Amino acid sequence: MPVKNSIFILVFSLLAIAGCTQNQNQPVEKTQQSMNFKQLTPEETRVIVHKGTEAPFTGKYDNFSENGTYVCKRCGAPLYRSSDKFDARCGWPAFDDEIKGAVKRIPDADGMRTEIECAKCGAHLGHVFLGEELTPKDTRHCVNSLSLEFIPAAAAVKSAATDTAIFAGGCFWGVEYYMKKIKGVVSTEVGYTGGKKDHPTYKEVCAGNTGHYEAIEVVFNPGQTSYEEVAKMFFETHDPTEWNHQGPDWGEQYRSAVFYRDEAQKEIAQKLIARLKANGFKVVTEVIPAKTFWKAEDYHQDYYDHKGTAPYCHGYVKRF
C-alpha cells in the first residue's frame, strides 16, 4: 500500500476513535451535571471523587451505634441500615449487608480488592471483603465515614412525611413572611441559590457578582397542603411580571424564579405560569432546576417575626 494512503487511513482511524470516545463521554457528563449533588469539602472530594481513604479510627461513624439509615454523602441515596452495622475493629464503619441495589461492586485498580460505589451516583465508598467469618453473613463492607451521612430513624420518618419547595421572588424577608402563613408549612429558611459562588454572604450577593438569587426553602406537609398551593401563594405575594426588582428593591438578586426539585414540580410551575399568561399577566418568572441552597445569615431568618412589622415590598394579590 502506498505510504500516502497508509497515513490517510491512520489519521482517519484516530479521528474516528476520538469521536467515538467523545460521544461515549457526553451522556455521562450530562448525567453528572443533571444530578443534584451535595457540595463536598476538599477532603470529601479526595475520598468520594478521587477514591481516597480516610485515616483509620478517625471517622465519625467508626464507633457509632445509633438507629437509622446511612445515605450517600454526595447524592443522598440510602445505602446501609444501622441493623447491618457491626464492630469489626478495623478502624472504619463496617456493614455485613447493604440495601438491595444500593451498592455497586467493581474490581479495584490494584487488581486484588473489590471496590464498592454508590449505585446511583458512583461515589467511592470503600471496599468489600468476604471470607473473614466476622458475622454469619461472612461479608464486610469497609466504608469511609466521609462517604456517608447518617439519618436518624425519627428524622427519616419526618422526611418521608414532608416535601420541599424553593422560590425566589424579591427580598426573601417578604416571601418568607407569607409562606409561613400557609397551613401545612413545617419550616422555612431563607438563603441564596442559582449562582456560582460557594458559601456566599449577603454582602457578596448584594454586590451583584455572584449570580445568586435571594431565595426561600419551604418544607411542607403534603397531607395538609400541596406544592401547587404553595406555588400559588408564591405567585400571589410577589409580582411575577417584574424581572429584577420587587417594589423599591432593585438588583439581580431579586429576580423571580421557581427552582424545581423534580419533573412534577416543574410541570406544576409551568401550568400556573400558563394560567397567568392566559389571564393577561406578562410573567417573567424563570423555571430552573434546583441547585445548592446556601442558608443566609441568622439575622435574615424569620426577619419580620423578630421585627414585628409587615413587608414593605410584598403584598397579597389574588391572581388565580
Q: Give per-residue pLDDT as tens, 281-308.
A: 999 999 999 999 999 999 999 998 888 8
Contact between 87 and 97 (Cβ < 8 Å):
no
Nearest of 28, 56, 30, 52 to residue 40 by alpha carbon:
52
Taking the domain 161-307, which CATH number applies? 3.30.1060.10
Distance CA 265, CA 289 (A): 10
- Does 229 or 76 have the greater pLDDT score? 229
Per-residue pLDDT at 19: 35
Q: Which triple of cell numbers denotes residue 166? A: 424553593
Catalytic residue among 72, 118, 121, 142: 142
What are the residue boundaries of the structural domains of the chain, listed by start? 42-154, 161-307
Q: Give per-residue pLDDT as tens, 109-154.
A: 999 999 999 999 999 999 999 999 999 999 999 999 999 999 888 7
Q: Which residues contact 46 (CB under 8 A, 6 or more apart)?
A: 52
Per-residue pLDDT at 167: 98
> Is 20 known to be catalytic?
no
Catalytic residue among 72, 171, 206, 313: 171
Superfamily for 42-154? Peptide methionine sulfoxide reductase. (2.170.150.20)
One fold for 42-154 and 161-307: no
Distance CA 174, CA 228 (A): 20
Per-residue pLDDT at 162: 84
> Is 75 known to be catalytic?
no
Contact between 286 and 266 (Cβ < 8 Å):
no
Partner residues linked to 103 by β-bridges: 118
Q: Give per-residue pLDDT as tens, 184-205.
A: 898 899 999 999 999 999 999 9
Backbone phi, then psi, for 127, in 5-degree steps? -140, 160
Q: Give per-residue pLDDT as tens, 4-44.
A: 444 433 433 443 333 333 333 333 333 333 456 888 999 99
Q: Which triple of cell numbers denotes residue 66? A: 445509633
